[in-house]
Amino acid sequence: MLLKEYGTRPNFVQINDFKETTFIKAMFILSEDQHQIFHKCPFLIFEKNMCYTVNYSESIKINYKDIAHVELSLCTRLFNSSKLYHKKKMFAPKKTQFEEPIYVGRNNLTYCLDLTFNMKDNKIYRFESFSLVNTPKILESLELVTKSDPMGIVNFIGLYENPSERIYELANRFGMLAKKYKLDNPRGTCIVE
C-alpha cells in the first residue's frame, strides 16, 4: 500500500508487508486532535461513542454499542527513513504526538497497536496504528467496550506513559511476546522519505 504524497511533508510513506495482512494501516487520533491531520494518509478517529476513518478508500464508521468485543494485539515494523528526514525532522511540522516513529527501538523496529473490532453483526474491522503514542487515550475511549487482551496491553500502557520508556520496555520484552502470542515481528517495513 502506498500512501499519497504529503505535499511539503515527506515525499512518501511506503508500507511494505512481508506477510499478507488484512489490517488497515492508519494513524489513531482522538476527535479533538483532528486539527493535526496534516497529510492524506488514513486516519482512524476516536470519539466518545464511535470511531471512523478519514482519508481511506471507503468510509468506515464503528459505533461502540455495535461492537461485540475488540481484540488488542501488537506488531512491529522495520522503520527506515531517509537522511533528509533525520536532518529536518520532516515527519511532523512541529512537536505533535505523531512524532513517535522517532522513538525507534532496537534494530529500527517501531511498535504498532492492532485493534480488531468484532461487530455484533459478525463484520470484522482490523486496524494497525502507526505508533503507540495515543494508545492510552484510545484505550480510555474504548473503556466501555469488551476487550480481549491476553497480553495485558491495557495494563502495560498504563505503567509506561512516557513513549521512550514504553519503547525501551517493549524492546526488552517483544521477542518473548512475539513467540508466545505468534505476533508479526516484523510485519513489514515503514519507509519515510
The CATH number for 80's domain is: 2.30.29.30
Domain count, the chain: 1
Q: What is residue 1's predicted lDDT score, i.e. its pLDDT?
A: 29
**Is 8 domain-assigned?**
no
What's the whole-model pTM score? 0.78
Q: What is residue 120's predicted lDDT score, i.e. its pLDDT?
A: 96
Q: What is residue 43's predicted lDDT score, i.e. its pLDDT?
A: 86
**Is 86 domain-assigned?**
yes
Question: Which range marks the domain in which residue 172 is found?
Answer: 13-192
Largest Cα–Cα separation, the chain: 49
**Is 7 domain-assigned?**
no
Query: What is the chain's pLDDT, residue by residue, as a tens digit (193 residues)?
Result: 222 333 333 444 555 555 566 888 888 888 887 766 666 678 899 999 999 998 788 889 999 999 999 999 999 887 765 543 444 443 333 333 444 444 444 567 778 899 999 999 999 999 998 878 788 889 999 999 999 999 999 999 888 877 778 888 888 888 899 999 999 888 877 655 5
Q: What is residue 11's predicted lDDT score, i.e. its pLDDT?
A: 40
Q: What is the Cα–Cα distance from 114 to 127, expressed in whole angstroms?
A: 6
Q: What is residue 98's predicted lDDT score, i.e. its pLDDT?
A: 43
**Is 5 domain-assigned?**
no
**Is 33 domain-assigned?**
yes
Residues ≥6 apart with Cβ < 8 Å to 101 = 79, 81, 91, 110, 130, 131, 190, 192
According to DSSP, residue 2 is labeled B
**Is 18 domain-assigned?**
yes
Q: What is residue 34's predicted lDDT score, i.e. its pLDDT?
A: 73
